[in-house]
Structure 1
Amino acid sequence: MDEQLFAELDRRLADADAALTTLYPGDRGVRQPIHTVYVPADRFTAGTVSEWAEQARAVLREHGGSVAELTEVLGLPADHAAEVYDRVRAKLEREPIEDLRIDFEDGYGVRPDEQEDAAAVEAARALAELVKGDAAPPYHGLRIKSLEAPSRRRGVRTLDLFVGELARTGTVTDGFVITLAKVTSLDQISAMMLVLGAVEQSHGLASGSLKFEIQVETPQAILGSNGMTPLPMMIRAGGGRVTGLHYGTYDYSASLGVAAAYQSMEHPVADHAKDVMQLAAAGTGVFVCDGSTNVLPIGQREQVHAAWRLHQRLVRRSLERGIYQGWDMHPAQLPSRYIATYLFYREGLATASARLRAYVEGGNSGYLDEPATAAALAGFVLRGLECGALDTTELDKLIGVDTAGLARLARRPLRS
């Protein structure tokens, strides 16, 4: 072909090429937590993480104190039950919470200004203590009230007080993130950008250092009045500050008229919303997070077991749909979260490893895997490594690549 044709193609597609690179940069190269734990601000102290861990371990001992018992209660496969059980117990000792959100929204409610002012400062000081003691979860932050008119000033004031206290103590970390509740318009994202810039400037933080998640719990976040979803434009308007889209199970279901008894992470309206969220976030590096179940593993033994079975099934369902994060609202949900997640990765390890080794070495696994599928397989193994379901010795033995090689296969940028 004439070289002039190629030059013309490059010219015509230059803007499209640039837009693709800018709008869809791909994986950010950072770990996605498998859950976000919400704790009401007035109940959060520097001891909360250790208290949650102890309560989670206690309920596991009381209602699933052995491999045999847990296998019977949750229907765990015999060939993975012991290794999952041991790894979950170790996780509850080592890193019981991966992502913590101190809640000043629905979990906290509406309080007098002086009361919320004091709570914001006190909670920030408690978080700072955890950070200084290297005891904070790898991801942590707060959820503020929405930028709707009735709660706008309160939400911004809480954010300013909270970040100001962290900045004063030098404890604003790379894992710090803000959740913006009940987003209803693209304009609110632009407003949030203005707020974050002002907070950074006020407290001497680097421009662009504060990140936030968009909580998707209103119909307007899924479908705008123009008949289009605003989520892609919201991500774009976030200018690199948006790290996640979090689904709000109960606000969203209620706003669509779903009766309370049927509000669930697996209701069709929930699936539709999350499908839209996944489409909007695909290729952007923005994480998608599922919601929560309000059926808690508390009370009599039968109630705990039934709630664990439900939670395990819902977590597994999300994982199979490609949503790798969800909300946990009670310490007793930690065992079922980790059991479901670890089982997902342990069960899939052998097949994923065999297919990856065959892809790398040019062998035959029984699958004709293309580069995109190899990237998905590598991403699966990486996620399992990051949460503790798998370990690096298995990586070397089963696949024959190190973590850096796995990251390259997963098309994930390497971070120092």
Structure 2
Amino acid sequence: MGQQEQVATSLAGAVSEGVSASLASVDAELARRYPGDPGTRQPVHTVYVPGDAHTADTLRSWGDRALAALDEHAPDAASLAAVLGLPDELAGPVHDRVRAKLEREPVEDLRIDFEDGYGGHTDADEDRDAARAARLVAEAYENGTAAPYMGIRMKCMEAAVRDRGIRTLDVFLTGLMEAGGLPDGLVLTLPKVTYPEQVAAMVRLLEEFEKARGLRPGRIGFEIQIETSQAILGADGTATVARMIDAAGGRATGLHYGTFDYSACLGVSAAHQASDHPAADHAKAVMQVAAAGTGVRVSDGSTNVLPVGSTENVHNAWRLHYGLTRRALARAYYQGWDMHPGHLPTRYAAVFAFYREGYEQAAARLAAYVGHAGGEVMDEPATAKALSSYLLRGVDCGALDAAEVARLTGLTRADLDRFAAPRRGDLTATAPQ
């Protein structure tokens, strides 16, 4: 044993107390603005269906059409691997899991669209379709056929369509309440947001609805769709999107990038409007930094190149979509939009390959961290958080099985949840020994 060290200090206890008192307001502000990830499942995509086209069998129809495309254009693991460049060891597991996903849960997040995808309708038409959307969503949750997340995209807060958007929102939410209440998976999307005041107006609407229906304050959240340059950089030079999150007062659940509206706003020609354009990368990077730590999640946009027609055309579209999805995942954009059933096979192939190719290494690193066993990489608590989040995302979407993750890490789901979403200032948690 070494010599016992003498511990001496020079500062009076009152000094520490005074510092803490001076930072009390900062502590409270950090807790309010940056609560961290909510710890809930994030869908890997959002599917948009026009309000007049949505039916009770939309989800199953998308899954069946996606399966038919897979059977026609990549009926086995080898053919899918050849199209997408999957390594041999991933080909079988990815193909099998894609098929199983399309049979079991083809859509993770459905947005019934009353904005760009819904046009040329009278007010009576939109009233009817909004009421029908509420009924179908309520029935889906009641009979167990719902996607994990479902909701509507209303019209924006610009003057020309504001009243119509407010009415559609009211009809939809009222219909859900009359059918038994708001489902846990309810998601609302506010498009074409340009000013924080438009977000504040949405907050006011939801506050008034909660009061009218006796709901707890803050029950209803919403996504903010980023489709204009002013949403990224305001006239005063500030990052408007950060001010939008603040204006939402804790109700913002996501920031969704609108590939084509945003690109057009910047004057990008139609042939170059894509989610990997430098303008898109800049916008999403600003969104990502503004949202970090706030509990607001960022979603990538979509591709408008549809996998239809000849097998050659489908394969080309699949390679494009697969590449864009993998690119987004590497940049920590874990959600995107899918515009056609034919996009589902490559959405899930990209997601499943992303998690399956790295889960063994991630599990080993996390297990070594928990067991203080060292290894080839010296990980820090923040990295343990990232490793846990990676594994949990893989389990939630079906890329990984909970049992195989538990076997490799020695951790339960509760342990992983605790690592992935620690309390602010506490990144030193370890799993039970």
Q: TM-score, normalised by structure 2?
A: 0.93
Unaligned runs of 5+ in 1: none
Does the alignment pair 1:166 with 2:176?
yes
In 2, Cα distance between the equivalents of 1:375 and 1:124?
A: 38
Amino acid at match of 2:232: I
Contact 1:167 1:205 in 2 (8 A): no
Amino acid at match of 2:65: Q
Q: Which residue of 2 aligns with 1:250?
A: 260
Partner-residue secondary structure (3-state), 1:302 = helix
1:232 to 231, 242, 260: 242
Q: For residue 121 of structure 1, report the CA deviation from its aligned partner.
A: 1.1
Amino acid at match of 2:68: A
Q: For residue 408 of structure 1, report the CA deviation from its aligned partner.
A: 1.4
In 1, Cα distance between the equivalents of 2:193 and 2:30?
A: 26
In 2, Cα distance between the equivalents of 1:258 and 1:374?
A: 40
Contact 2:38 2:421 in 1 (8 A): no
In 2, Cα distance between the equivalents of 1:361 and 1:62?
A: 48
Partner-residue secondary structure (3-state), 1:332 = helix
Q: In terms of mean alpha carbon deviation, does 391-400 or 54-63 score higher?
A: 391-400
Q: Which residue of 1 aligns with 2:43?
A: 33
Q: Which residue of 1 aligns with 2:89?
A: 79
Q: Which residue of 2 aligns with 1:309?
A: 319
Unaligned runs of 5+ in 2: 1-10, 424-433
Amino acid at match of 2:337: W
Q: For residue 317 of structure 1, report the CA deviation from its aligned partner.
A: 0.4
Q: Which residue of 1 aligns with 2:68?
A: 58
In 2, Cα distance between the equivalents of 1:207 and 1:330?
A: 37
Contact 1:222 1:231 in 2 (8 A): yes
Amino acid at match of 1:189: V
Q: Which residue of 2 aligns with 1:276?
A: 286
Amino acid at match of 1:177: V
Contact 1:132 1:171 in 2 (8 A): no
Amino acid at match of 2:14: Q
Amino acid at match of 1:117: D
Partner-residue secondary structure (3-state), 1:43 = coil
In 2, Cα distance between the equivalents of 1:106 and 1:267?
A: 22
CA deviation map 1:359-396 (0-9, x unaligned):
11112320011110111111101100111101111112
Report the number of matched residues: 413
Partner-residue secondary structure (3-state), 1:71 = helix
Q: For residue 204 of structure 1, report the CA deviation from its aligned partner.
A: 4.2
Q: For residue 29 of structure 1, report the CA deviation from its aligned partner.
A: 1.6
CA deviation map 1:300-322 (0-9, x unaligned):
10011111110000000000001
1:405 to 411, 415, 428: 415
CA deviation map 1:307-358 (0-9, x unaligned):
1110000000000001100000111101000000000000011211111111
In 1, Cα distance between the equivalents of 2:259 and 2:195?
A: 19
Contact 2:84 2:318 in 1 (8 A): yes
Q: For residue 126 of structure 1, report the CA deviation from its aligned partner.
A: 1.7
Contact 1:244 1:288 in 2 (8 A): yes
Q: Which residue of 1 aligns with 2:430?
A: none
Q: Which residue of 1 aligns with 2:219?
A: 209
CA deviation map 1:176-198 (0-9, x unaligned):
01100100101101111111122
2:350 to 337, 340, 345: 340
Q: For residue 412 of structure 1, report the CA deviation from its aligned partner.
A: 5.0
Q: Which residue of 1 aligns with 2:229?
A: 219
Q: Which residue of 1 aligns with 2:59?
A: 49
Structure number with greater Rg is 2
CA deviation map 1:133-178 (0-9, x unaligned):
1111011100001000001001001111111111100141111011
Q: Which residue of 2 aligns with 1:91?
A: 101
In 1, Cα distance between the equivalents of 2:384 and 2:412?
A: 15
Does the alignment pair 1:188 with 2:198?
yes
Q: In terms of mean alpha carbon deviation, does 333-342 or 89-98 score higher?
A: 89-98
CA deviation map 1:88-109 (0-9, x unaligned):
1111111111101000000002
Partner-residue secondary structure (3-state), 2:358 = helix
Amino acid at match of 2:49: V
1:365 to 363, 367, 375: 375
In 1, Cα distance between the equivalents of 2:137 and 2:103?
A: 20
In 2, Cα distance between the equivalents of 1:128 and 1:27?
A: 28
1:355 to 365, 368, 375: 365
In 1, Cα distance between the equivalents of 2:14 and 2:422?
A: 35
Partner-residue secondary structure (3-state), 1:117 = helix
Partner-residue secondary structure (3-state), 1:154 = helix
Amino acid at match of 2:416: L
Q: For residue 231 of structure 1, report the CA deviation from its aligned partner.
A: 1.6
In 1, Cα distance between the equivalents of 2:381 and 2:110?
A: 35
Amino acid at match of 1:275: A
Q: For residue 65 of structure 1, report the CA deviation from its aligned partner.
A: 0.4
Q: For residue 200 of structure 1, report the CA deviation from its aligned partner.
A: 2.6
Q: Which residue of 2 aligns with 1:125?
A: 135
In 1, Cα distance between the equivalents of 2:412 and 2:137?
A: 35
Contact 2:228 2:262 in 1 (8 A): yes
Contact 2:138 2:183 in 1 (8 A): no
In 1, Cα distance between the equivalents of 2:24 and 2:374?
A: 40
In 1, Cα distance between the equivalents of 2:311 and 2:245?
A: 44
In 1, Cα distance between the equivalents of 2:217 and 2:143?
A: 26
In 2, Cα distance between the equivalents of 1:110 and 1:326?
A: 27
Q: For residue 111 of structure 1, report the CA deviation from its aligned partner.
A: 2.1
Contact 2:194 2:230 in 1 (8 A): yes
Q: Which residue of 1 aligns with 2:115?
A: 105
CA deviation map 1:217-272 (0-9, x unaligned):
11111011110012222112212211000000000000000000000000000000
Q: TM-score, normalised by structure 1?
A: 0.97
Partner-residue secondary structure (3-state), 1:178 = strand
